[in-house]
Amino acid sequence: MIEIRCIKPDEVTAAKQVIYRVAHEIFNDPGSLEESIVYHESRSELMDMDDIQHNYFENGGIFLVMLNDSQLIGTGAIRHLEDGICELKRLWLLFEYHGRGLGYSMIMELLRIAREMGYEKIRLETAPVHQQRAHELYKRLGFCEIPRYETNHKDDIAMELTL
């Protein structure tokens, strides 16, 4: 049974593993998954997840996980960016679960929470070159491209949705 709920402290490592596993496939990393994890951990690319309480829950946001029975299969989060605006972050779903509407369900839950928290807009950054399906989903949901606001990755674009 699929469940979406707040992440628990002992699930952070499993959540990172999901992100690294999906990113490894999306970005066609030539090395092994283990090598990729060591490399990206050394660069602290997911350091916001090392203190989810501070970076999300205490920063006007939330961090959710999706489970199939007890297996963590996806992640999704929002965090405060500026007055009235939050950011959609860490939206990842294992490939074997794509095409079932689960990513859509996670986004809908995050949008519902963002509205409840009083946000007026939600932004995100994505790389359409590598994340074409996600980019298409964002467009179908009404996200529009805006100027980039945070990224250093040349393939990334920024998008925004009025809530």
List, for residues 97-122, the tens digit of each pLDDT value. 999 999 999 999 999 999 999 999 99
Query: Which range among 25-39, 74-88, 101-115 shows the weakest confidence by mean pLDDT?
Result: 25-39
| pLDDT tens profile 38-67 | 888 888 889 999 999 999 999 999 999 999
* Whether residue 162 has pLDDT greater than 90: yes
Dihedral pair phi/psi, residue 68, rounded to 5°: -110, 105
Burial letters 52-68, b for 16+ CB under 10 A, else e: beebbbebbbbbbbbbe
The string of pLDDT tens digits covering residues 2-25 is 999 999 999 999 999 999 999 999
pLDDT of residue 107: 97
Residue-range domain boundaries for the chain: 2-162
The backbone torsions φ and ψ at residue 63, rounded to the nearest 5 degrees and listed phi first, read: -130, 115
56 CB-side CA count, 13 A: 26
The amino acid at 154: K
Whole-number pLDDT of residue 45? 86
Architecture in CATH of 2-162 = 3-Layer(aba) Sandwich (3.40)
**pTM of the complete model:** 0.93
